[in-house]
Amino acid sequence: MSSNRLFITTPIYYVNDKPHIGHAYTTIAGDVIARAHRMFGGEAYYLTGTDEHGSKVAESAAAAGVAPQAFCDVQSALFRAAWDQLLIKYDDFIRTTDDRHKRGVVRFLQRLHAAKSPDGHPVIYPGTYSGLYCVGCEKFITEKELVNGKCPHHLKEPVKVTEKNYFFRLRSYSARVGALIEQGTILVNPPERKAEVLGLIKHGLDDFSLSREKVKWGIPLPFDSSQNTYVWVEALQNYITAPGYADDRERFDHWWTHGHVLHLMAKDILKFHAVFWPAMLLAAGEKTPHELFVHGFFTVNGEKMSKSLGNAIDPTAMVVTYGADAARYLLLVQFPFGVDGDIQAERFPERYNADLANDLGNLTSRVVKFCERIGGTVPEPGKLEAVDRALLVAGKKAVDGMREALEQRNLLAMIGAPMGLVREANRYFDASAPWQLQKEGKEERLRTTLYVSLEAIRVAAALLSPVLPTKSLDIRRAVGVAADRLEPTGGELEHLRALQPGAPVGIGDPVFPRIDKKGKAVDIQSPPSDADGQTETEGLIDIDDFGKVQLVVAEVIEAERVEGADRLLRLKVKVGSEERPLVAGIAEHYEPEALIGRRVIIVKNLKPATIRGVESRGMLLAAKKGKKLTLVTTDGEIPSGASVG
Ligand code: MSP
């Protein structure tokens, strides 16, 4: 097995549902792992698809008044369309109604039918399945599902039905599967899921029925056409029918036999994947998968996502609101990979603004715009100082951190590594204060600071490319990565691909425009006019929202006009002992000199913005009516730095 050759799968999704964020989460995770694996030089084959047989699908088709195949064609296309919108780069999309799948299933069942278990019994044997059957549902129903002894959907008592079925001799394989899991030949992660499976096996699992007599929409058994293959048994086989089990043994061996097989799923379908599937493979003489990663199961605002509640979040609506890159990011950063959680969609805008608009987008704008103003190219760095080297080393560490996180399938850490670098670059840029260096004429330091900042952004953006495929390209182009180097590579190559001084840099619109609570763009980074960046308030807020705003007294110590912007003043204010730059749209109302020494009120904890290319950290309060404007001041005893509430 070559672990450099990764075969990644998602569950194949039932076509009687529409794609929702639960499906999207697994599919995005698989895409990110595949892209990251390739970035680090590995080979990857990423498979997803749709599960199209069984009574539920047949019923949905009948309810829609169409033939099952036509129904499946439409529904399966919905999944592919959603994945296209979410920038999922799958290598293969399998449908269980594909001929290659049907041929593969027949072949696999023939193998099983001919096989003997290690204790000398036929692996498949006929038997009778007896259970409770709801005629309304046309399916077997368990005691547990009954409400007051009746089917909850049809309010009828089920009938006891005995059906001839074929069984798979699981009992002859479950101990062997348990041992493979125990010793890590089949890795089941996270560890609590491994414990869960081992517990199930220890508890004892019965042979399972692998066919159905009554379900007509399915693949007939090759050895008894009066029966169809049970939908679950058939669905699992997609993982081998896609790479060529039916008729391309070479391709099949390349990926299945000699690749590292990673199945992704949520815990709802763990037993099928961790026990039934390896057991069937052992019986058919094929390799078992190497790794199952079982991520968490999500609720939405505390409730299970379901058709009847109508609360499923549509991932394509997220794409409309946030863009595909950000939608991918927002879903993945909700919880550590593997942990259950409750998704609260109203928190998406806050997270978007904090991480993408401010930390990443605004840093890129600030640095690139600075470079644009002093020549529009990657500056030639001078002598590196300790702070510069520290940031470059942080870049190298982020690459290592990302590689390690990928190996552990720790998606949150795969994002955390580059985002940590972004935050460090923000601190470096603020602390180096290039605007100050420029003012003081420290030209070499200025060039070095800008170069090192651009370089940190380049590395972070390359590492973010699996999650943010298109924005990563935009950012890397903006900081001067040459067109022939845009394909990101990780590891050792990173420093060899450092930015070339003299390469053109440039940024147009913000990479991630800021949005309001409803997801509407507000974009304070490049306001349409030279106004002071104030945004309209909408509706009422609660006290907690107000509490987030830190108002303080600030003393104006410098003021001058901003060249080319009639309404803007560039100020420097003192907040206690701290000095900070601030841009305000008050030039038509105040002469700069008249402001020196005034104590004004500012919003202290506003994220920095760049207005007309000038850095601003805070916002002045002013009262305004028509063309009149007066600053809110506190001339008197209250010193600068005092809080206002
Ligand atoms: N068709 C079967 C799978 C056969 S695989 C051989 C099936 N389909 S499903 O449409 O119900 O998809 C289940 C999978 O979708 C989960 O295992 C998970 O990957 C994803 N999710 C669906 N809902 C989810 C949540 N609420 N939370 C997280 N993931 C979820 O089962």
The number of the ligand 1 atom at minimal distance from the alpha carbon of 296 is 28
* Residue-level pLDDT at 529: 31
* Residue-level pLDDT at 585: 87
Q: Residue with the nearest Cα to atom 23 of ligand 1?
A: 22
Nearest Cα residue to 293 out of 10, 48, 4: 10
Active site residue 72: no
* Residue-level pLDDT at 525: 41
Angstrom distance (rounded) from CA 419 to CA 355: 8
* Residue-level pLDDT at 534: 32
CATH of 5-304, one of 3.40.50.620, 1.10.760.10, 3.90.1820.10, 3.90.850.10: 3.40.50.620
Nearest Cα residue to 316 out of 329, 328, 307, 305: 328
Does any ligand 1 atom lie closer than 6 A to the CB of residue 236?
yes
The number of the ligand 1 atom at minimal distance from the alpha carbon of 13 is 10
Active site residue 156: no
DSSP 349: H
Active site residue 371: no
pLDDT tens, position by position, 487-520? 887 777 777 789 999 999 999 999 999 998 888 8
The number of the ligand 1 atom at minimal distance from the alpha carbon of 239 is 6
Q: One of 37, 53, 139, 151 is an active-site residue; which one?
A: 151
Which residues lie closer than 8 Å to 433 by C-beta, 6 or more apart? none
Asked if residue 524 has pLDDT above 50, the reply is no
pLDDT tens, position by position, 265-308? 999 999 999 999 999 999 999 999 999 999 999 998 888 876 66
CA of 338 to the centre of ligand 1 (A): 14
CA of 11 to the centre of ligand 1 (A): 6
Does any ligand 1 atom lie closer than 6 A to the CB of residue 298?
yes
Angstrom distance (rounded) from CA 500 to CA 79: 42
Angstrom distance (rounded) from CA 566 to CA 584: 11
Q: Which of 50-59, 276-285, 457-466 has the lowest mean pLDDT?
A: 50-59
Q: Residue with the nearest Cα to atom 6 of ligand 1?
A: 236
CA of 51 to the centre of ligand 1 (A): 11
Nearest Cα residue to 33 out of 432, 379, 405: 405
Q: Residue with the nearest Cα to atom 30 of ligand 1?
A: 22
* Residue-level pLDDT at 539: 47
313 in Cβ contact with 24 (< 8 Å): no
* Residue-level pLDDT at 536: 31
Average pLDDT over residues 612-622: 85
Does any ligand 1 atom lie closer than 6 A to the CB of residue 503?
no
Angle 384-387-388 from CA coordinates, rounded to 5°: 40
**Average pLDDT of the chain?**
90
* Alpha-carbon distances, residue 311 vs 78, 112, 318, 394 (angstroms): 18, 42, 14, 42
Active site residue 23: yes
The number of the ligand 1 atom at minimal distance from the alpha carbon of 266 is 17
End-to-end CA distance of the chain: 65
CATH superfamily of 543-644: Nucleic acid-binding proteins (2.40.50.140)
**How does DSSP assign 165-210, residue by residue?**
EEEE-GGGTHHHHHHHHHTTSSEEESHHHHHHHHHHHHH----EE-
Count of residues in the chain:
645
The number of the ligand 1 atom at minimal distance from the alpha carbon of 272 is 6
Nearest Cα residue to 503 out of 541, 455, 538, 549: 455
Average pLDDT over residues 627-641: 77
Q: One of 116, 153, 307, 624 is an active-site residue; which one?
A: 307
Does any ligand 1 atom lie closer than 6 A to the CB of residue 52?
no
Q: Which of 265-274, 311-320, 408-417, 612-621 has the lowest mean pLDDT?
A: 612-621
* Residue-level pLDDT at 92: 98
Q: For residues 594 and 47, which has the higher predicted lDDT (pLDDT)? A: 47
pLDDT tens, position by position, 535-582? 333 345 566 667 778 888 888 888 888 877 778 889 998 888 888 999
pLDDT tens, position by position, 95-153? 999 999 999 999 999 999 999 999 999 999 999 988 888 766 656 788 878 888 998 87
CA of 166 to the centre of ligand 1 (A): 26
Asked if residue 596 has pLDDT above 60, the reply is yes
Find which of 19-28, 575-584, 620-629 is predicted with most confidence, using mean pLDDT.
19-28
586 in Cβ contact with 532 (< 8 Å): yes
* Owner of token pair 């190497």: 290
Domain ranges of the chain: 5-304, 346-493, 543-644
Does any ligand 1 atom lie closer than 6 A to the CB of residue 25?
yes
pLDDT tens, position by position, 338-356? 888 898 888 999 999 999 9
Strands 622-625 and 224-229 come out as unpaired
Active site residue 254: no
Which residues lie closer than 8 Å to 209 by C-beta, 6 or more apart? 127, 129, 165, 166, 167, 168, 230
The pLDDT-based confidence of 523 (bands split at 50, 70, 90) is: low
Nearest Cα residue to 316 out of 78, 93, 134: 78
CA of 294 to the centre of ligand 1 (A): 11
Q: For residues 72 and 491, which has the higher predicted lDDT (pLDDT)? A: 72
Nearest Cα residue to 239 out of 385, 104, 424: 104
What CATH number was assigned to the domain covering residues 346-493?
Answer: 1.10.730.10
pLDDT tens, position by position, 200-234? 999 999 999 999 887 889 999 999 999 999 989 99
Asked if residue 406 has pLDDT above 50, the reply is yes
Active site residue 589: no
* Residue-level pLDDT at 93: 98
Q: One of 72, 101, 134, 254 is an active-site residue; which one?
A: 134
* Alpha-carbon distances, residue 176 vs 185, 208, 486 (angstroms): 11, 17, 47
The number of the ligand 1 atom at minimal distance from the alpha carbon of 304 is 26
Q: One of 304, 439, 520, 624 is an active-site residue; which one?
A: 304
Q: One of 116, 121, 153, 154 is an active-site residue; which one?
A: 154
CA of 75 to the centre of ligand 1 (A): 16
Angle 507-327-305 from CA coordinates, rounded to 5°: 170
* Residue-level pLDDT at 311: 81
* Residue-level pLDDT at 591: 81
* Residue-level pLDDT at 527: 35
pLDDT tens, position by position, 37-47? 999 999 999 99
* Residue-level pLDDT at 504: 97
Does any ligand 1 atom lie closer than 6 A to the CB of residue 76?
no
Asked if residue 386 has pLDDT above 50, the reply is yes
Quick one: what percent of the chain has pLDDT higher than 90? 65
CA of 265 to the centre of ligand 1 (A): 7
The number of the ligand 1 atom at minimal distance from the alpha carbon of 51 is 1
Q: Residue with the nearest Cα to atom 24 of ligand 1?
A: 22
Quick one: what percent of the chain has pLDDT higher than 70? 94
* Residue-level pLDDT at 308: 65
